[in-house]
Amino acid sequence: MVNMDFITGLPRSHRQHDSIWVIVDRMTKSAHLLLVKTTHSAKNYARLYIQEIVRLHGVPVSIISDRGAQFWKSFQKGLGSKVNLSTAFHPHTDGQVEHTIQTLEDMFRVCVIDFKGNWDDHLPLIEFAYNNRYNSSIQMTPYKTLYERRCRSPIGWFEVGESGLIGPYLVLQAMEKVNIIQEKLRTT
């Protein structure tokens, strides 16, 4: 089962993105943050959903969303999933996941200020930081829930010598961004 929501009203990025599609697995609490535009058609969303969610996790049994009733009903009928539509801003419908989505939205909005017009370039690092953050409801990180092991992060790359293969500058840059995002996570 997954919950879906959108973070909208963002400043347009240099690649013209203005929204983020947030997809959270209810069991593992893992999240995917997908770049979208408010002008995307249902076909764009369907293609993105298959490319980024179905290819990694298969088709969910159930989707909970508070937007796009017509789209989700027809799309999920084709995939064989059940759609449950919740009422917007009513956490009792899907409280724990709604809280997760709110945390991601708060964290992301703070990061947009730091990353300005190229915030979309940093979205994968924000997703990475979130999925490797301890979650008290599952008593581990979402990453560990999914893969049954701790994730090696860029911070540990220098210890095993991979920086020579990847390039020290790229590793340092990623480490700095992850550190900024993790600091923002602590303050949200």
pLDDT tens across 106-131, in order? 877 777 777 777 888 888 888 988 89
User: What's the burial of 3, exposed, middle or buried (CB within 10 Å: 0-12/13-18/19+)?
Assistant: buried
For 139-158, write each residue's pLDDT tens digit: 999 999 999 998 887 655 44
For 26-35, write each residue's pLDDT tens digit: 889 999 999 9
Which pTM was predicted? 0.75
Q: Domains of the chain, with CATH numbers?
A: 2-187 (3.30.420.10)
For 62-74, write each residue's pLDDT tens digit: 777 766 666 666 6
